[in-house]
Amino acid sequence: MQIMIYLAAVLNIVNGVLSFGSAGILKKILCMTMIIFGLAAVWAASRLNIPNVTSRYAAIVLSGILIVLRIVEFTVWHNIGFLLGVVLPIIVIWRLNSTEVRDWFVKL
């Protein structure tokens, strides 16, 4: 699961960097936002090996933000390929909400 959020974050960062050359201020702002939240998701993924409830919540919130950014990215660039990036954060949220993972994060 940790590798999936790393992969989703890195894909978000790479998309932001590659798309930064696009014309238009809205697209540049979106690219910077993708890079910033991608870096935040890498940080959240690095904290997932610590059994702390807040790190689980942070990963869920950042995965949700990555999903929203992918949908916004799709509406701006009109490329269906961007929607495929939604799959990894959805799987991360699904796994983080499973009973076994929740029980592990409650341990202190």
Tens digit of pLDDT for each residue in 14-56?
988 998 888 889 889 999 999 999 999 999 999 988 888 899 9
CA distance 26 to 4: 28
Question: Residue 108: what pLDDT?
Answer: 54
Write down the pTM of the prediction: 0.88
Most confident of 39-43, 70-74, 104-108: 39-43
Domain ranges of the chain: 2-106
Crossing angle for the helix pair 2-19 and 53-77, nearest 10 degrees?
30
Mean pLDDT confidence for 83-95: 90
Q: What is the residue-averaged pLDDT of the chain?
A: 89
Question: Residue 105: what pLDDT?
Answer: 85
